[in-house]
Structure 1
Amino acid sequence: MAAGGGAPRSLETLINEAGGAVKLLRGSNIGPYVFPGIRPEFTNWRDEVQSWKDSVALLEQSYHMTELHLRGRDVIPFLSQFALNKFDPFQVRRAKQIVLAGHDGNYIADAILFREEEEFFRVVGAPFASDWLLYNAQGTSLDVSAEKNDNWSVRQAPRDVFRLQLQGPQALALMQEVTGNTLPEIKFFFIGEFQIAGKNVRALRHGMAGTPGFELYGKWEDQQAVREALERTGEKYGMRKIGALAYSTTAQESGWMPMPLPAIYHSAEMKPYREWLNNYYLESIASLGGSLVSDRIEDYYVDPIEVGYGGLVDWNRDFIGRAALKEKAANQKRTKVTLVWNDDDVAATVKASLFDNEKPGRFMALPTPMYATFESDAVLKNGKLAGVSQWSAYSANAKRFISLALVNVEDAIPGTELTVLWGEPDSRRRTVDRHEVREIRVTVAPAPYFDKVIKTGQQ
């Protein structure tokens, strides 16, 4: 994953050589994240997307998730320094969505934390949380050891566990049958253990896009037997295997903002971390795209309050960024919404990208048109900046083009009409085709969109 050959160079060095963090990220030719180890489609992405609403979907997570394994008697005290979450109580066989903030209170990353044993934890998600915690674990005096299990984008080799998701209205019935009616009752965000095809399997109980679901994992060498049993039993429930194209649309429907730009690129406090990171880490080679144009990298950051994690914060103890985050909570300026893109404007942009030689629109790949690691598109109201749109996709369930966005609190009322600028002005990246920035009308809707709109049929 390194950019170029030779000896590793630190992120701090790369920023200085580029003339600033914005120039570094805006100059990267890395495109959108590509899910490794999985084909784009198993059948077709439209029906695959609809399966997690209408029947049951089998989603692949064995290859793209980074894991950090934390062991030791001081893991909770260690995590309490960096994660804003409440950790008391946190029993064995439970999970939490942990959120990490920087010294300025801005968002660094979130991930799912599995407590497998009293002194064994898994951090699972995009690499940003694992990298930040690994860096800090290497310098701590607490009884904590950390081992990173990279995803297949970095190293294609057998992993510690396979990981699958079953989602949709038929997920519970399928799970009951494939376990021979021995499936234990598992409460939300608890972890249960049982057998499939004679193999020991654990499952985190949760849901995605408004439907019940299970995240299954077990020994890497046991996955074939488990997969075959799921596929065989799943036929009667209309199960679909989900390819990378369909998987890429899950976040927009469920309201989870998966990869905001981590707030690590500017502050003096983060300089030692930038000197530790090198061009073998995604943070150093990632790209920043979209129509929001600023020379200040801070203008691309988000904070945990506006992203929707305020309810997770444990204000009764100290952690990195607490004071700054407290100020943000008291003076919240933006909030997370879904933007529903105007059908006619989207169609006109697609048409212009394909057939207009004079004023081409920026190409919109379906179902996910993102063309950078981090996307930040300007959202306007009456010509003035009102927010930023970050994750966009065509939802085959909603039959609409939607995106997750942060907009000014006063503009977040459902039904409010805004405008997204689609394109990348004066792009320096070869991955971006020649185009003119276009205005696309959008309407504010709740986030998550699936749970509040598709499920109820109302907007």
Structure 2
Amino acid sequence: MNKPQTFAPATLQDALDTAGGAINLLRSSQLGTTIFPGIPAEFTNWRDEQRAWKDSVALLEQTYHMTEVYVRGADALEFMSRLSTNRHDNFTTMRAKQVVMCGPDGRMISDAVVFREEDDFMRVVGPPTAANWVEFNATKTDLNVTTTRDENFIRPRARRDVFRFQVQGPNALPLMQEVTDGTLPDIKFFHMGAFKIAGRDVRAVRHGMAGTPGFEVYGDWADQAAVREAVERVGAKYKLRKAGSVTYGTAAQESGWMPRPLPAIYETDDMAEYRAWIPAQSFEAAGSLGGSYISDKIADYYVEPYEVGYGSLVNFDHDFIGRAALEELKLNQKRRKMTLIWNNDDVFRVLKNSLRTDGPRTKFISLPVPMYSSFQADQVLSGGKPVGVSNWMSYSSNAGAVLSTALMDIEHAVVGNEVTLLWGEPDSRRSTVEEHELTEIRATIAPVPYYDKTIKKD
């Protein structure tokens, strides 16, 4: 007797067709919170690891979890210019840019950091959503470019092209000056420099968090043991703490960066070719959508560059995908990114009730990262009416509270106002989400970033 054949989706579009649409696909995914591979959850403890980037210096590991795509060719700059909203006429070699990439409708597909090392060579570093979009467009362009992918360590292997880590905090600059034996050049904000650590050639881009200069250091894979040993040895003098994977997942919160928005790719005809190109094993197909904000329209979960604070990165001096739509969206902005400070009494109440055995449970709040899905969307209310969506959250030892980054209706984006976050996932289809009742958590609106993210003048 012949066994019935089962259909294994080959592409994202196949997966969408099998599931009956994007909402069904993503709301049924069993994928939980983001996993940062390659390092322990904590090297010491996440509370002090968090405090290090504000009080001393933290080493944040980036070697294993980010996907890199190398863009090579005489037209590399023009190619990236067509894909991203950013100004590129000032993108000289040995500079880096945080680039924003949108679909034809002007809604975000991804952001990433691009390192221009040579005239004809760029590294695109970020989530797989960025890598996939770059690679796809490279297959369609008439420009002289090729791409090579250096995959992350979700599937471990022997090596990558480079190691990569950040040193951040008020002691980052003196640490770097000492460990480089005087070879550290004066690097301007988001520029790059080449120097030596332990006699090995490395490069770094200068940026920062918590209001102080920081460095993203990278070099040849074979040199990392010597470089790491030197940084940790000298770093002991400056109270260096290595941040584990659970701590790394909180690093964006205080600076107000909203990592990895849901890519705007799932339903329009002009993205059909892309959906047929992305494999069913991709993050876009496997990722989960969770939280209390419920809509039957996947587009309601998309974000626009202006509302997430990227208006300064949108420049209309060149042609790029989504330009016409963004010119219209600029005139019709409806939401603004804000920080929500969760009420500690409510958080403690929810935690207590999530562990009870004598009645209905609330949804557990895992600390320091309460998120339980790839793409989180929780309803924010004022006077019982919807006024925003909370998208990224974590506990901050520096703030002494759970913070979340939310997109608030502009008329309700008022610092100091109290709102209510609806916590839980109604009628969840995922076994990773325990049975629970929805509950409300009070929150106070605060600025974003919660702390000044960078110093750009020195």
TM-score, structure 1 normalization: 0.96
State the partner residue of 1:283.
284
SS at structure 2 position matched to 1:307:
coil
Tell me the residue number matched to 1:322: 323
Q: What amino acid is the match of 2:195? A: F
Q: 2:235 matched to which residue of 1?
A: 234
1:43 aligns with 2:38: no
Q: CA offset at residue 317 of structure 1? A: 2.3
The answer for the alignment partner of 2:172 in structure 1 is 171
SS at match of 1:115: strand
Distance 1:434 1:357 in 2: 14
Which 4+ stretches in 1 moved above 2 angstroms? 5-8, 154-157
Contact 1:52–1:211 (8 Å) recurs in 2:
no
Where does residue 82 of structure 2 map in the other structure?
81
Does 2:192 align with 1:195?
Answer: no
CA distance in 2, matches of 1:131, 1:303: 19
What is the Cα deviation at residue 142 of structure 1?
A: 0.9
| Partner amino acid, structure 1, of 2:189 | F
Map of 1:439 onto structure 2: 440
Shift in Å, 1:154: 3.5
Q: Provide the rounded CA distance (Å) in 2 between the counterparts of 1:93 and 1:451.
A: 25
Counterpart residue type for residue 115 of structure 1? R
Within 5 Å, give how 1:184-223 maps onto structure 2.
184-223=185-224
CA positional deviation for 1:140 = 1.5
Q: Could you say which residue in structure 1 is the equivalent of 2:3?
A: none
Distance 1:75 1:55 in 2: 39
Aligned residues: 449
1:34 alignment partner in structure 2: 35
| CA distances 1:376-401 after superposition (whole Å, capped 9, x unpaired) | 00111111111100111110111111
Cα distance in 2 between the residues matched to 1:297 and 1:383? 23
Measure, in 2, the Cα distance between the counterparts of 1:370 and 1:147: 32
Contact 1:29 1:287 in 2 (8 A): yes
Aligned residue for 1:156, secondary structure, equals coil
Q: What is the percent sequence identity of the aligned residues?
A: 57
- Contact 2:127/2:260 (8 A) holds in 1: yes
For residues 23-50 of structure 1, give each alpha carbon's deviation from its aligned partner in whole angstroms, at most 9, with x where no partner exists: 1000000111100001000011100000
2:335 matched to which residue of 1?
334
Shift of 1:413: 1.4
Structure 2 distance, partners of 1:8, 1:427, is: 24
Shift of 1:162: 0.2
**3-state SS in 2 of match to 1:254:** coil
Question: How far did 1:75 drift?
Answer: 1.2
- Distance apart, 1:356 and its partner CA: 4.9
* 1:99 corresponds to: 100
- Residue in structure 1 matched with residue 359 of structure 2 by the alignment: 358
Partner of 2:410: 409
Per the TM alignment, residue 197 of structure 1 is displaced from its structure 2 partner at its CA by 0.4
Structure 1: runs of 5 or more not aligned:
none
Whether the 8 Å contact between 2:9 and 2:15 is mirrored in structure 1 is no
Opposite residue 168 of structure 1, the aligned amino acid is G
Q: In the alignment, which residue of structure 2 is the partner of 1:14?
A: 15
* In structure 2, C-alpha distance between the alignment counterparts of 1:209 and 1:240, rounded to whole Å: 16
The answer to whether the 8 A contact 2:14-2:280 is kept is no
Q: CA RMSD in A?
A: 1.3
What is the DSSP-based 3-state SS (H/G/I as helix, E as strand, rest coil) of the residue aligned with 1:240? strand
The residue identity in structure 1 corresponding to 2:164 is R
Deviation at 1:209, TM superposition (A): 3.0
Q: TM-score, normalised by structure 2?
A: 0.96
- Write the distance in 1 (CA, Å) between the matches of 2:284 and 2:212: 33
Which deviations, in whole Å up to 9, do the C-alpha atoms of 1:357-392 show, x marking residues without a partner? 422110111100110000000111111111100111
Q: Which residue of 1 aligns with 2:70?
A: 69
Q: Which amino acid aligns with 1:17?
A: T
Counterpart amino acid of residue 19 in structure 1: G
Contact 1:209 1:250 in 2 (8 A): no
* Equivalent pair of 2:86/2:100 in contact (CA under 8 Å): yes
CA distance in 2, matches of 1:342, 1:222: 46
- Show the counterpart of 1:310: 311
How far apart, CA to CA, are the structure 2 residues paired with 1:296 and 1:210? 39
